[in-house]
Structures are given as C-alpha cells and as structure tokens.
Amino acid sequence: MASKNSSEYYSSYKEMSPIRAIAETLMNNHQVRKVNIKEAYELAKNQPGVTVSDMPMYDEFIKLHDLPSDTRVLVDNHGNIVGRTAKARRFYHRLNGSQKNKLEGDFREAVWQMQHYPLIKAEAILGMDKDLMIKATFITTETDAANVYNWLLNFAPYEQLKDQYEASPKLPIQDIILIAFNEWTCDDPFYNNVGAPQLALVDEKHNVIANLGMRYFGERKKGTLTLAWTSGIRIGMAACHGGIKEIDFGTCEDSAFHGLGKRSIAFYGLSGTGKSSHTNSADNGGTLPKGFSKVVLHDDAFQIDLENQLCRVWEPTLFDKTDSRPLGHPDWKYALALMNHLVVDIDGKRTPIGLDVRNSNGRALLDRALLGKYVNRCAFPKALVWLMKDSVLPPVIKCTDKYLAIAMGAALMTQRNRAENVTEEELNKLVFEPFANPFRVYELYRDVEAFLKVADNGAEFYCFNSRGYWKESDEVLESIPLQTSLTMQTAILTDKLEWEAWEMLPGAMIPTKESVNAILPGYYEKYDPKLRGNMDRYHGLLKDRFQQRRDYLMSSDLQEKPEVQAELIKTLEIK
C-alpha cells in the first residue's frame, strides 16, 4: 500500500495544517533541484566536514544502486553536537493557539531564509514490503548534501521501488515531508540553544518534520522514522522500536522440532540491555537445534500488522554505534557511510577508526546483509521480550496476565548510574521509556491499546533482566550472563520450559526447578526469588520499584482511558 500526496489526501485544503502548507510550498518551489543518490554522493564529497575515505562501500549495495564502482565510504564529521537533542523538539499540536501562531511565523521565516541558499530535494520510500510503503521528500540546502546522501542510503531511493510503489493501493496516510536548514538563525529563548538555536518541529498529524539548526544525521533518520511509526499507528498497527527475527524449525536435523514450524521473537530495550545481541545472535550461543533456519527482519524498527498477522520492516539498513568495532572487524565489509569517526593515514590510505576515539557516539550506516539472511516481512511474534536492567527482577519472567505484560512494557525502565554524578535519591529513581521508544509523538494509550491487541492475538510476553539479580543488596548482584539469557530465549522458542507462579507478583511466572535445571544446571538455586539475601530490604526495594511504575502510569495520558489505566495499575502490586 502507498501513501497519498496532498492533492489526493485532503478533501479540502482547509484541512491542511499551516506547517504542512509551508513545507508543501517549499517542496514545489521551482528553484529546488531534485537529486538522485549518485548526484547526492558527488555533492557530499565536496561538503565541508566530509572526508572521502579509502574504505570501499559494500559491493552489493554499489551494484543495487548503480553507483560508480570506485564509490568509497564517506565520513561526515560534526562539531560540538554528535547526537540527537530531545530538548529541541516542539510538538505543534501540543501547543496553545498563541504558541502555534509563533511557531508558524518562525517556520515561515526559516523557509524564507533557506531560499537564499541553493536548495535540493530527494525522494525515498519508507517500507520495504509492498503492502506498507510511504513516500518521503527531504528538502534542504546543498551544504547539507551529506545528510541527503545518508538519508537515501538509510531508506530506499524512490527510483529503486518506484514500480512496486506506484502499483500499490493507496493508504489513508499523507506522504512525509522533511525539511532541514543547518544555517538557521533565531535569537529566541523559546528554542533550545547550544551555541546556536535548534528546533525539531514535529507535526505528526500532517506528516511533516523540520530540523532547524541541527546537523546530526540521526535527527533526519529518526525524525523520518518517527512519522512512519506514527503513520502505522494511525492505520491500526503497533509501532516497534525493537529487533525481531524468525526461526524456522522445519529444517532442523532432528524431526522432533519440525512441529514448531516458524516462530518469531521480538526484543525491546534501551541502549546496553542486549536488544541487538539477542536479535543478531547467529545461533543463540550454540543453543538452537542443528539445521535450523533464521531470518532477521530488523534489529531496530518494524511495524506489527495486526489485521494481517504479520510484521513489516521500514528500512533496508542499520544505523549502529561503532564503539566496539575495531579496525579489521568483519562488520566493516558492510559499511555504507560513517559519522563522527577518526580518520588516520595507514600505508597511504585514509582509514576510518571507530571506537569513539574522536568523540562519543560514532555511527555507521551498514547494509542489512550484516544480519545474515533477511526478509521484509515475517511471522506474527510468538514472543515479545521487554529487556530491563532491574536488579529486583529474576533473569526471566513470563507475564500470563496481559495487563501486567503491557504494564511492564508501558513502564519499561532504566536507572541512572554513579557515573552520572547524581544523588543517592536520584540513583533510586527509575527513568521510564515506554516500550523502549523515545520517538513516540502520540499518546501513550495508543501504544497500550496496540500491544493489548498483540496479546489478544496470541503473543506471549516476557521480561528479561540484563543487569544482575539481587544477591545481598542492589550492588551485590548475582550476575546474569548473556549466554544464560540466550539459552532461555531458545527454551522459550522450543517450549522447553514449564512455569510456576512468582508469588510476589501475581500474573507473573518463573521457570520451574525441574524444567530450567535440565537446561541450565543450578539455575533455580542461583536465582530462586525466595533465596535472596537481606530479604526484607529486597522486598522493600521490589515494592518501591513497582510503586514507581504505578505512579508513572497514574500520571501519564492513560488518564484519558481510565478503565485501561486501572487494569494496568492493578497488576503492578507486589504482595
């Protein structure tokens, strides 16, 4: 299915927001020159801050897009800001009337300033499956060509999927418009300012986003993707900032596994919780049965189509941190473009170095082939896993109460650490990021309703603790090795675990001693909740953390759905 342009979508142009009207007019200005991926590459090579390295681009990608055979990986290095800036976001539809008027005027002024520069635009398709595609247009200055090039690498250039897109039936969704203007000037305290003003303007109802005074590519990528996720929500799907893979047990050497068929499992977690490790593991640490087949949809972004019981992918590439990829790492084979990397001369060749030597948050655009065999759609998930670093949780729990399952996702948490130089009181406060998605621009209850439907359609829900489990205190923990979690993942997929109630949290279950010890000898004795040291302190911290979850959901926009809110909060009570 395809999105609609404005003339197709709006029955009356009075329905269009002023923000989209400003963006639409700029997009159709005769002085805005359209460029393809080849032209963007040539422009980007000459942009200040960009280095043409001697690292070759992934060969298959060059062939797919008919790029010059000598295409090299470009390194785009920024200044002070090398990551996304959440404080710069302004949500148009959350503002009062006078604030909207102000934003509209400032946006018009920014576009007027833009038009004193040579402008370019590019078109891309979001969505690699023929039944979920959205057209997007990116308008910016020629001085931002590297971001245009990276944007076309990250999504799919329109020409690549043109025939497939134009043959698809129309979705009740507008095309996406992205505008960027790095040279924006505005001396106004209403906007975030870090040496210069910054604005990430979001109009999610009319599929427009603007990055003003912001150079970092992640703003372009996640801004565009945010509108895609939101579009999916608008047509009844579930938006997923997570990874998902599908295992086919029908090819296993042992025919006893054949009856399991194809099973998908999805992982949702914040940075450092193991989302990529679980999604991308070749064989779950050697625990999957011999002869299995695996495909990966994506390790970061997808949509669950509830009506058709499928999952669909938005992007053909990965946008990964490179702090743990040294020179010679096999992943460099799949490199398309780099951001914020050291470049050194090695034997006369300009060689990019990851490892966050130049600055933190070095990033790479990598071809999805890095994941092995990949697909654009996969089976509806058998299991969804919330990954959390919460020391009061056993290594794995199964949520048999659907409201508890969704409450744990809606109150997905992380914790501050001592490196952040905060008080003891702050250390004990949880930081919540519902469904591990910091890019949600719509009401939380919409995600809650979507995931409740996922549960109603038969998916199982689990919580994995990737921090460590209370042994004697919140600092003296029983470690939970990644290998243990990968083994549990396989056991879930192969129905090898039996479950018993976790008495402290009704609706939650832990593996039975007999079933789990058969897979991981000694597991039950190590992680039995009844064997925690300093039990009174453990129980007190457990109650406190779940009360924080209750308080968070009580203060959220779930208030607009009081019956659902009450059901979720009721399940988060520790006995």
47 found inside a domain: yes
**CA separation (Å) from 12 to 7, 16, 17, 63, 173?**
9, 8, 11, 44, 15
Q: Are 53 and 206 in contact (CB under 8 A)?
A: no
Helical axes 37-45 vs 145-154, angle rounded to 10°: 140
Q: What is the CATH number of the domain that holds 18?
A: 3.40.449.10
The rounded distance, in Å, linking the Cα atoms of 74 and 149 is: 10
From 375, 227, 370, 246, select the one nearest 313 (Cα to Cα): 375
Residue 129 lies in a domain: yes
> What per-residue confidence (pLDDT) applies to 385?
98
Containing structural domain, residue 349: 317-369
List C-alpha distances in Å: 127 to 151, 222, 350: 14, 14, 34
Q: Which residues contact 189 (CB under 8 A, 6 or more apart)?
A: none
Pair (261, 321) in one structural domain: no
- Is there a single domain that holds both residue 496 and residue 423? yes
CATH of the domain at 527: 3.90.228.20
Mean pLDDT of the chain: 96
Residue 424 has pLDDT above 80, yes or no: no
User: Does 310 fall in a domain?
Assistant: no
Residue where the block lists tokens 């743990």: 324
Return the exposure string of 257-284: e unless at least 16 CB atoms fall within 10 Å of the residue's CB, then b: beebeebbbbbbbbeebbbbbbbbbeeb
Distance CA(390)–CA(415), nearest Å, equals: 8
Task: Check pLDDT > 90 for residue 425.
Answer: no
**Cα separations (Å) of 315 from 114, 463, 469?**
29, 27, 36
Q: Residues 227, 247: one domain?
A: no
CA–CA gap between residue 148 and residue 418 (Å, rounded): 39
Degrees to nearest 5, angle at CA 475 with 469 and 481:
40
Asked if the structure places residue 495 within a domain, the reply is yes
- Residue 401 CA to chain centroid, in angstroms? 26
What pLDDT is attached to residue 417?
Answer: 64
pLDDT of 126-180, one tens digit each?
999 999 999 999 999 999 999 999 999 999 999 999 999 998 889 999 999 999 9
Per the structure, the count of domains in the chain is 3
pLDDT band of residue 97 (cuts 50, 70, 90) is: very high
Interstrand relation of 293-298 and 132-141 (parallel, antiparallel or unpaired): unpaired
Q: At 181, is the pLDDT very low, low, confident or very high (cuts 50, 70, 90)?
A: very high
Can you tell me the mean pLDDT for 102-110? 97
Mark whether 106 and 176 lie in a shared domain. Answer: yes
Among candidates 414, 448, 447, 418, which has minimal Cα distance to 432? 414
Domain shared by 33 and 173, yes or no: yes
User: What does the pLDDT look like over 437-450, one tens digit per residue?
Assistant: 999 999 999 999 99
Cα 277 to Cα 275: distance, rounded to the nearest angstrom: 6
CA terminus-to-terminus distance, the chain: 48
Tell me the C-alpha to C-alpha distance, in Å, between residue 417 and each of 428, 431, 475. Answer: 9, 11, 11
Count of other CB atoms within 10 angstroms of residue 401: 18
Q: What is the pLDDT of residue 117?
A: 98
418 in a domain, yes or no? Answer: yes
54: three-class secondary structure by DSSP: strand
Q: Is 405 exposed, middle or buried (0-12, 13-18, 19+ CB in 10 A)?
A: buried
512 and 562 share one domain = yes
Strands (E), 204-274: 208-212, 238-240, 243-248, 262-269
Does residue 374 belong to any structural domain of this protein? no
Do 34 and 128 belong together in one domain?
yes
Cα–Cα distances (Å) from 426 to 37, 413, 485, 539, in that order, read 47, 14, 29, 20
Please tell me whether residues 145 and 210 are part of one structural domain.
Answer: yes
**Is residue 375 in some structural domain?**
no
Other Cβ atoms less than 10 A from the Cβ of 542: the count is 20
Q: What are 533-555's pLDDT values in tens digits?
A: 999 999 999 999 999 999 999 99
State pLDDT tens for residues 340-360: 999 999 999 999 999 999 999
Per the CB < 8 A criterion, the answer to whether 315 and 301 are in contact is: yes
Distance, CA of 291 to chain centre = 31
410, 463: one domain: yes
Q: Is the same domain home to 254 and 231?
A: no
